[in-house]
Amino acid sequence: MNATDYANKLREKFGELISAPAEFRGEITLNVADAERIVEVCAFAKKELGFDFLADVSSIDNYGEDPRWTIVYELYGIGNGTYLRLKTSVSEEKSKLPTVTSVWRTADWHEREIYDMMGVRFRGHPDLRRIIMWEGYPYFPLRKDFPLGGKPTDLPDIAFTKTAPIEGGPFVTAPGGKDAIEREPRVRMAEDKSGK
């Protein structure tokens, strides 16, 4: 069986909840219409179809549209050697969906990263806290409405009480410059330290 065959098995089981398979560059994607049922769909894909490895969970910010977020599950069957992608959507108003950690334990850190960077919460997650940014950080840096240069943040419980140096943050390249290396943040930090 190939990915399309497995996709059709999901459609047979769940009917209108699952979209028709969409193929792009040899990869098959299915949309799950109701995010509340994502665990049920994932559990069937794992137990009945052999998708025993969750390669990734990621998120897309569709800023300005409703629903705002698309959550993407990249599945792989070790035994069948097949990839399958599931997508579901979550509105900004709700910004919460069930965790799939009961299906694949590896979803733990993926869901934490989505929460940390996008602010989407996973109901029932065993340890939903920030994984990259520090606790108490008030923003979600991968949202499209978050400025590329960062935002100033007051951190009174840290070693200093001035505005934290988040503007131009550690992951933000500078505009302009003759090449990508010159725009690299580490190059700018080295220049600042040398006094140039």
pLDDT at 94: 84
Shared domain check, 167 and 110: no
Measured in whole angstroms, how far is the alpha carbon of residue 174 from the centre of its chain? 25
Shared domain check, 169 and 96: no
pTM assigned to the model: 0.80
| Total domains present in the chain | 2
pLDDT digits (tens, 9 = 90+) for 111-139: 999 999 999 999 999 999 999 988 888 88
Shared domain check, 168 and 81: no
Domain extent, residue 33, equals: 3-142
Q: In the chain, helix, strand, coil percent, each to 5?
A: 30, 25, 50
Which percentage of the chain shows pLDDT scores above 70? 78
| Residue that the structure tokens 């509340």 belong to | 36
Q: Judge whether 141 and 133 are in contact, CB under 8 Å.
A: yes
Dist. CA 187–CA 104, nearest whole Å: 40
Domain CATH number, residue 46? 3.30.460.80
Dist. CA 105–CA 2, nearest whole Å: 26
Over residues 156-160, mean pLDDT:
55
